[in-house]
């Protein structure tokens, strides 16, 4: 919606003129913004993806099916209203999967090797401590209003690392942006990719991943779920723990489950992912399709 407002304000009404508005990077202003968007936005979120706290929009190219970012300071909401009661109309699959998307912000923010600070780490930790227990409670009882508000407040923390502290994200977001145009839900992309990306990155950022893993195990309710899923803290890595959480929430873990199959489709996904800014800033930068394929092969199903 925000990218539409930006396009309207700048008379961008074709693929070629829209292309002039995007830099291809998630944190850089758009190329050509002659006029700011003048339509005020009031956001009452009923999911947990966190888009209401940024001035970022996205659009998919109709020919290449590659997703491009559109960002402008005038396009963010003027007011965000949180109402746990209104979120009860959201299907559980969307509520929980977008919650994992917010968890993805925290994990990739905490596990980044660039621009992290004590302040950014603190926001990521706060987000994880609110989101993961809150999501597990929501799974058990969809009417738990306290848990729903806890998740909403966790989203506030989750987006701070990127949009307030400037910490770059990684391949779960980068590949996920290009998986979305194939019909996969925004939150589902994180459910599928995040554990595998952590596995892929562990040789580069094991110490950072250990911080996130310790946060999960330190919560008695989360650690109980992990143990029930057969994990032991001294043997399981962060990817294992996240996999267990996603499975406990009953969400998809493979490309097959979301009907993304076929070698040509997966190879195209790998190629498109290389154009995404967050793949470049991954702790193990992705530069060749074969590197993306190592991640995708883990989640084919």
Domain positions in the chain: 2-80, 89-298
C-alpha to C-alpha distances, 227 to 107, 195, 198, 219, nearest whole angstrom: 20, 17, 20, 12
CA distance linking residue 226 with residue 233, whole number of Å: 9
pLDDT of residue 54: 77
pLDDT of residue 172: 98
Spatial contact of 171 and 278, defined as CB atoms under 8 Å apart: yes
Work out the number of other CB atoms within 10 angstroms of the CB of residue 259: 12
Sign of CA dihedral 213, 217, 219, 224: positive
C-alpha to C-alpha distances, 295 to 125, 171, 200, 214, nearest whole angstrom: 25, 9, 7, 24
Tokens of 240: 């294992």
pTM: 0.86
Residue ranges, the chain, pLDDT below 70 = 1-38, 56-75
CA distance linking residue 145 with residue 105, whole number of Å: 23
Of 199, 228, 224, 221, residue with least CA distance to 130: 221
pLDDT of residue 1: 47
Spatial contact of 108 and 121, defined as CB atoms under 8 Å apart: no
Tokens of 46: 């009923």
Burial of 81 (0-12, 13-18, 19+ CB in 10 A): exposed
Tokens 């706060």 locate to: 126
CATH number for region 89-298: 1.20.1090.10
107: helix, coil or strand? helix
Long-range pairs of 218-224 with CB within 8 A, sequence gap ≥ 24: 219/129, 219/132, 219/133, 221/133, 221/136, 221/137, 222/132, 222/133, 222/136
């Amino acid at each position: 919606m925000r990218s539409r407002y930006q396009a309207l304000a700048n008379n961008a009404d074709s693929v070629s003129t829209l292309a002039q508005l995007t830099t291809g990077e998630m944190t850089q202003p758009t190329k050509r913004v002659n006029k700011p968007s003048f339509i005020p936005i009031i956001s009452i979120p009923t999911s947990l993806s966190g888009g209401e706290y940024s001035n970022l929009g996205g659009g998919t190219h109709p020919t290449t099916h590659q997703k491009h970012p559109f960002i402008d300071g005038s396009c963010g909401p003027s007011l965000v209203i949180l109402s746990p009661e209104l979120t009860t109309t959201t299907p559980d699959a969307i509520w929980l999967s977008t919650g994992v998307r917010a968890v993805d912000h925290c994990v990739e923010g905490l596990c980044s090797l660039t621009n992290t600070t004590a302040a950014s780490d603190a926001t990521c930790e706060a987000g994880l401590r609110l989101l993961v227990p809150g999501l597990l409670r929501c799974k058990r009882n969809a009417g738990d209003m306290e848990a729903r508000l806890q998740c909403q407040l966790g989203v506030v923390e989750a987006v701070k690392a990127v949009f307030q502290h400037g910490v770059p994200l990684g391949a779960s977001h980068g590949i996920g942006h290009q998986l979305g145009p194939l019909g996969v839900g925004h939150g589902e992309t994180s459910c599928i990719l995040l554990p595998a990306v952590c596995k892929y990155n562990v040789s580069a950022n094991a110490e950072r991943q250990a911080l996130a893993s310790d946060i999960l195990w330190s919560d008695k309710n989360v650690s109980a779920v992990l143990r029930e899923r057969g994990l032991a803290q001294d043997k399981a890595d962060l990817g294992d723990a996240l996999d267990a959480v996603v499975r406990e929430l009953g969400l998809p873990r493979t490309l097959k489950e979301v009907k993304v199959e076929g070698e040509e489709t997966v190879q195209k996904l790998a190629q498109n992912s290389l154009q995404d800014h967050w793949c470049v800033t991954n702790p193990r930068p992705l530069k060749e399709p074969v590197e993306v394929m190592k991640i995708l092969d883990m989640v084919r199903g």
